[in-house]
Amino acid sequence: MQLSQLKIIVTGAAQGMGAHFARRLAEAGAQVAAGDVRDDLLAEVAASAQGLPGKIHVRKLDVSNEADVGAFVDWAYDAMGGLNGLVNNAGILRDGLLVKKDRTTGAVTKMSAEQWAAVIGVNLTGATFMVRDVVAKMVATEQRPGVIVNMSSVARHGNRGQSNYVSAKAALAANTVTWAREFAPFGIRVGAIAPGMVETPMTQGMNQKARDAIVATIPVGRIGLPEDLWHAVKFVLECDYFNARTIDVDGGAGL
């Protein structure tokens, strides 16, 4: 599909990779519906697209709220005059060991139900409801072709201290295959991108020593940039023969 033909939702679009994807899509002439809980930042994203061939429409979106997801999809369809794509990017981190024993006191602590539920609610349940409601709208309006890009992670293979995040991202990669098979009769492709460490507001707050240790494990010698991930997203959107697969973009490091 040509990028200029897209009428596409981007979630988690207020900053980081989501904001970058939205701007790059608008540069290519796409209509973009950008959603995020940080609606205070969305106005800046929309302003950054002024004068571009495409347009970025913005509205607050909490993907963990089922009613909000449905309302956002309806709004996006009306605002763009159609809907044929989704970049399923919204995500959060609430890292912690599932069980931890303090080396000094011997006290045992566990990952809280709140830590677990918050990440699963956004990264898996919310992402799934976005796919469900976007595809339902495409099918109801007989829109085809369509394309969905799920943002998984190389952490889906397993990573210490991220049981909640790993569970969500592994499920997204697996369901990329499931959904590609389910939605094929509707002319909708589904692909996934699995980033490694990427320079975003989420990672910029990391301890410098920890960042340096991670960079040392990356063969290309640096943390990824949103533009690196954009190249992969663009490929999935444009290549009509790509379907049901996940592309790792991690500088060769994995986890």
For residue 44, tell me if it sits in a domain: yes
Chain mean pLDDT for the chain: 96
Q: H or E element: which one contains 176?
A: helix 163-183
Global pTM value: 0.96
In a domain, residue 251? The reply is no
Report pLDDT digits (tens) over 157-198: 999 999 999 999 999 999 999 999 999 999 999 999 999 999
- Asked, for residue 194, whether it belongs to a domain, the answer is yes
pLDDT of the residue at 77: 98
Of 207 and 229, which is predicted with more confidence?
229
CATH code assigned at 193: 3.40.50.720
* 53, 126, 207, 210 from 6: Cα distances, Å: 12, 22, 39, 39
Q: What is the pLDDT, as a whole number, of residue 225?
A: 97
The answer for 63, left when phi > 0, alpha when psi is -120 to 50, beta otherwise, is alpha
Cis check: omega of the bond before 145, within 30 degrees of 0: yes
Q: Which of 134, 114, 117, 19 is nearest to 64 (CA)?
A: 117
pLDDT in tens, 89-124: 999 999 999 999 999 999 999 999 999 999 999 999
What is the number of structural domains in the chain?
1
- Across 11-26, average pLDDT: 98
Please give the average per-residue pLDDT across 68-91, as a whole number.
98
CA separation for the pair 29, 102 (Å, rounded): 54
Cβ atoms of 30 and 106 within 8 Å: the answer is no
Query: Which of the pair, 175 or 201, is modelled with greater confidence?
Result: 175
Specify the pLDDT at position 254: 63
179 located within any domain: yes
Q: Is residue 253 part of a domain?
A: no
208, pLDDT greater than 90: no
153 band by pLDDT with thresholds 50, 70 and 90? very high
**Does residue 255 form part of some domain?**
no
> Does the residue 114 lie in any domain?
yes
pLDDT of 255 reads 59
Active site residue ranges: 165
Query: Which residue range is the domain that position 14 belongs to?
Result: 3-245
The span from the CA of 199 to the CA of 101, in Å, is 31
Determine, yes or no, domain membership for 153: yes
